[in-house]
Homo-oligomer: A and B are copies of this chain.
Amino acid sequence: MNDELNDLLEKHGLKKTGPRVKVLSVLKLRDTAASQPELEEIIGKEIDRVTLYRVLTAFEEKGIIHKVLDMNGTAKYAVCDSSCTDKQHKDEHVHFNCTLCLNVYCMDTLHIPQLVIPAGFTSQVVNMMVYGICDKCNLKLKG
């Protein structure tokens, strides 16, 4: 696993530092996107708050992770599909934000429908977020 992380960092031209390897390993293991405050809680004070923000920003710029805003406007990050680069993010999938547990899921299989936008406007990126109850919370409610 550590080799994989090192390769990923190297491939994107990032130095292999403690904080970067740690953050990347945490994100890789999750099935939901994580915010800086969440990572801070998971990792603890071994990594500085500001470093977390900078690591996340660096990863995003290099196309290792992508950013999604949750329903509160908090930035959450998830590991990108391996085809992402610093030139182009291929995160054009739908995201799901659970209104109970607040988790954000990448719906990798759901890709965003094409839109015809009005003349005069130019589209760069399209974002689609479904708010609702996730599978785990639904189980808790019904079960």
Contact = CB atoms under 8 A, between A and B. Distances in A.
A73 B97 CA distance: 14
A122 B131 CA distance: 8
Interface string A115-135: 111111111111111111111
Most B CB contacts (10 A, CB to CB) among A75, A112, A118 go to A118
A127 B126 contact: no
Contact of A135 (B121, B126, B133, B135): B121
Interface of A: 69, 71-75, 94, 96, 99, 107, 109-110, 112-113, 115-135, 138-139
Given A110-B115, A124-B132, 11 more contacts: A69-B71, A73-B73, A94-B115, A96-B117, A110-B117, A113-B113, A121-B132, A121-B138, A122-B138, A125-B131, A128-B129
